[in-house]
Chain A
Amino acid sequence: AQTVTQSQPEMSVQEAETVTLSCTYDTSENNYYLFWYKQPPSRQMILVIRQEAYKQQNATENRFSVNFQKAAKSFSLKISDSQLGDTAMYFCAFMKHLNAGNMLTFGGGTRLMVKP
């Protein structure tokens, strides 16, 4: 079974600065997919960014980018120019390739506070 670990329960950052959230995972699979989800106080889960394990290039979505280190089984999220609206819980998630149910395994989350 896969496990996903987010070692930082809480983090804070000043508005306009950059912050990096950590995620590590344990798998014996070679092909898989990784995701970051954001959960603001509204409780809605929002997909932030995704990465295919077979792609070496790190994914980028506007102010959000990842540092994917396959050998180290690490998938960190970098948020640049942090905004107050980035305050949320962030969850890292893993999915095996050719997974019959397309099931995601989630980490425990990191609570991010952006301070004005």
Chain B
Amino acid sequence: EIVMTQSPATLSVSPGERATLSCRASQSVTNKLAWYQQKPGQAPRLLIYGASTRATGIPARFSGRGSGTEFTLTIGSLQSEDFAVYSCQQYNDWPSYTFGQGTKLEIK
């Protein structure tokens, strides 16, 4: 099973600033990496797939980079609605999809 490790567990950032979240895979997942956003009481929402492609309707301030085992999600100029939990997920190893443990992005 591919283990996905996210860092940091919690990130405190002020509105208007940039946030960078990291995700590491225990073995290469090529570019088959997705990012999800989850707010309290809501189901996860797909943000990024293919490591860097924004899903439909996702604002341009969300960007993803990386390949192999190292990935980042950057959110430029944080808006109030961006404070949430972000999870990465690999889908290279079908059917054994695995998620990271999540990074909580909170208001500083």
A, B assembled together: no
A residues with a Cβ closer than 8 A to B are: none
